[in-house]
Structure 1
Amino acid sequence: MPAPTLQIFNSPCKSVCRMDDRFGWCVGCRRTRAEIKAWSTATDGEKMAILARLPERAAAETRLLSEGGS
């Protein structure tokens, strides 16, 4: 029987590391403090779930900023 496929997820960190309180996430990677803290011990499934949330956060941030939100 073949060995199961190993999933490895690199951190989405962009080395900006500054929290934006307007949004509640890092301006670089768009993860919350809890997600950043949990990343090193998260399962592949948990990492996939975190990564899946990031595009919508980017879109929400863009929408808010384009509407003149501060």
Structure 2
Amino acid sequence: MSRVSDKVRSPCVSVCALDENDTCIGCQRTGDEILRWTSMTNEQRREVLRKVAEREKKVSL
């Protein structure tokens, strides 16, 4: 049984604005990823976080 505390937490930093690529400038998730976050499994959330990390690398270049 999964507890709430076991869920992968959202990367939201309360800076919510989508850029021209439909990516949030605060958390680097796409609009679709943000909308689906609450219904995702922990594994799906981890995959989104991997993608977020890649997007963050590109932004910092």
Class of the TM-score when normalised by the shorter of the 2 chains: 0.7 to 0.9
Q: Which consecutive residues of structure 2, in runs of 5 or more, have no partner in the other structure?
A: none
Aligned residues: 59
TM-score (norm 2): 0.83
TM-score (norm 1): 0.74
Structure showing the higher helix proportion among its residues: 2
Separation in structure 1 between the aligned mates of residue 12 and residue 32 of structure 2, nearest angstrom: 14
Moved over 4 A (4+): none
Q: Which consecutive residues of structure 1, in runs of 5 or more, have no partner in the other structure?
A: 64-70
Higher-Rg member (1/2): 1
Matched ranges for 1:1-70 at <5 A: 7-21=6-20, 23-63=21-61
Structure showing the higher strand proportion among its residues: 1
